[in-house]
A and B are shown apart, each in its own frame.
Chain A
Amino acid sequence: MNGSLIGQLLVSGVCSAFVLLLTSLGLVIIMGYMKVVNLAHTEMLMAGAFICYYLYSVLHIPFVITLILAYGISFLFGMLIEKTVICHFYGKMAETLLATYAISIIMKQLALIVFGKSYNQVAYPVSSVIYLGPVYIEAYKLILCLISALALAGTLIFINKTSMGRKIRSTTQNRTMTDCLGIDTRKVDTITFSHGMGLAGLAGAAIAPLSTVTYSLGESWLTNTFMNVVMGGVSSLFGTVASSFIIQEAISLISGYSNSVTAQIVVLLVVIVIVRIKPEGLFTPKGRR
């Protein structure tokens, strides 16, 4: 055991935690506020990565604008999906599971047909490495942390400080009452779902440089994002933040001192125990149930 390895693993863990937070934010919003289990979430990450590849690597649009466009395109796509499919399944969690699973298969196969079979690389927008003593951080990882924090802050402000956010919260609390007050809850649903999908697209675009962009990119995120949301509690953004850190720091440290398979097993066991003790997740909003 030595200090520099612990330091390195902790720092890597923090970066990975922000990445996990970014990639699960859209999922937790759709699950928490709409009670829709969005299995198409990770395929939206894949689509976001492809948007990034085509806009940034092929058309050379600046990275920041690429991210904003990725959010915008995914938002519109989310709107289309909500208006055509999801809106028929509110209140039926099992059915949303099937419907979004079907959408995810369609998205993946379409990506295979449309984008073809090859590994596509997105270059790191910044490629420098920062050294803090013996500990290194890739500059792009810091930028990812920033994007993640901004996405979280933006979402919190949107939900808590805007009038649309207030409508979203009231719809979640009591749909009938909100309807009676003359608020178009259908529109609220569309906006919430589209925002969740938009965040997934943004996350996908942001993580594209970390690996290569392929139609199968979504698969590798499925377990971690869902585990994160289940552990954090579906109706709590703070819970997702906390569980992102717990999961990634644990994986990083255990994998650093043992191996990554053990790390995955241990973390999965911890999640099972937590869900057994607190079925609602780590953090649940106080109040009437």
Chain B
Amino acid sequence: MKKFKRTIAMLMVTAMIAFCFTGCGSKGGSSSDTIKIGLAFSLTGGTAITEEAMYNSAVLAIEEINAAGGINGKQIEYVVKDYATDPDTAVKVIKELILQDEVTAIVGLYTSASRVAVEPILEEYEVPLVYPTFYEGEEPNDYVVYTGCVPNQQGDYFVPYLFENVSENFYLLGTDTTYAQGINRQATELINSLGGNIVGDELVSSDITEFSDIIAKIKDTCGDEGCVIYANLNGDSGTAFYTQFAAAGLSDKYTIASFIMDESFSTALGSAAADTYASVNYFNSIDSEANKAFLTAYGEKFGEDKASSVTAVGEATYDAVYLLAGSLEKCGDDITTDNILANFDDLSFDAPQGTITVDPENNHIYCKARIGLVQEDGSIATIFESDDVIKPEPTK
């Protein structure tokens, strides 16, 4: 028995040493026939469900580009790191990607907190990050290219639409984050200028999953008049609110509208989210050749059921990789950070959502604004689409 234990111990030590060597073995930057890029997503942690579609889309785009011959004949090699929805971990993994793996550029991150945390590192080591998430907007960082939409490409169309078609009364509700604060502030300005009423304004902490008190308050303040519940609640808190709101039988009277509603929510919630509104630049249901090709390829690689829950951030990550590839291609053999960033200017990509173009002024994308209505089967139908692409205004 004792001997057995010793053998096990020896085996484990050997295995650990082996792991150490394999860990260090792959060190080294992009070689002459490959270009190495880093991916940073929460494979675990609070936003892992949302970021799964992002990670998958990034891998899909890289494989498609490689299959089509790579960038100027060079294959893309990628290293993936898990930042577990934690800003400190994000800093750590971005440093690892830069110093250990010596990547040329990074695609990834979802939460604003993690993006803000890594920006000083990007500046220090001068490595570009392509950030594929719709967010509240900020003073653009020189080393970040943003491929998600910003509030002026969502709320500026969403609030007036709801005001005209649903109700003049708005109850603002959100998770206590910079993001929800920002979009509630934008909504307040828009509602006031339209002459609507704000009947409630409330932020809740992200771990709340019991909403009976808030639902009671909404019922009391809105009374028999119609009301838009402008609810930007994250993750488990958000799904709990939709479920309990529908269970309380209030979804006939009041209408929930949210920036955060996407296909990962709607396909799971089904009828509990039916007839609520969403607003982002991409919906899974967009009827275009590019979108069909994207979703078919996604379905073949990750499963049909996963393809129906690809969200706007997933699509934005797919675009992010293609835009990065476009920029790298323009660099030719002279791949430097300055060249990569400069080549993003006015770069276009025929994305699943339609053609998007990087604005040279602020490194954000021109895209269309869309409003969606959740259907009984959990898909989101586009009910409004802006005629043209809209200039991004991240500092508005």
- Contact residues of A with B, CB < 8 Å? 2, 4-5, 8-9, 12-13, 15-16, 19, 109, 112, 117-121, 124, 127, 129, 136, 138, 140-141, 209-212, 214-217, 219-223, 251-252, 255-256, 259-261, 263-264
Contacts and interface: CB of A to CB of B under 8 A. Distances in A.
Given A119-B264, A212-B269, A251-B213, A8 B243 contact: no
Contacts of A255: 213-214, 217
B309 A118 contact: yes
A101 B325 CA distance: 44
Given A19-B210, A211-B236, A220-B237, A124 B49 contact: no
Name the 3 nearest CB pairs between A and B, nearest first.
Answer: A119-B268, A211-B240, A12-B212
Given A8-B219, A259-B203, A121 B269 contact: yes
B49 A214 contact: yes
Contacts of A4: 220
Contact of A121 (B52, B204, B248, B272): B272
8 contacts: A5-B216, A112-B48, A129-B247, A210-B210, A219-B46, A220-B236, A255-B214, A255-B217
Contact of A12 (B213, B240, B243, B272): B213
Interface string B269-286: 110100000000000000
Interface string B200-214: 001111011110111
Interface string B130-145: 0000000000000000
A264 B205 contact: yes
B274 to A, nearest CB: 13
Contacts, number: 120
A204 to B, nearest CB: 13
Given A109-B44, A121-B268, A13 B247 contact: no
Contacts of B309: 118
B244 interface: yes
Contacts of B264: 118-119
Contact of A223 (B207, B213, B265): B207
Contacts of B268: 118-121, 212
Given A119-B264, A138-B248, A211-B240, A2 B216 contact: no
Contacts of B265: 119
Contact of A2 (B215, B220, B247): B220
A85 B166 CA distance: 57
Contact of B216 (A9, A19, A209, A263): A9
A8 B211 CA distance: 13
Given A118-B268, A212-B268, A260 B214 contact: yes
Interface in B222-273: 235-237, 239-240, 243-244, 247-249, 264-265, 268-270, 272
B176 interface: yes
Most chain A beta carbons < 10 A, residue from B213, B219, B244, B248: B213
Contacts of A212: 236, 239-240, 243, 268-269
A16 B212 contact: yes
B209 A211 contact: yes
B209 A210 contact: yes
A209 B213 CA distance: 18
Contact of B213 (A109, A117, A260): A260
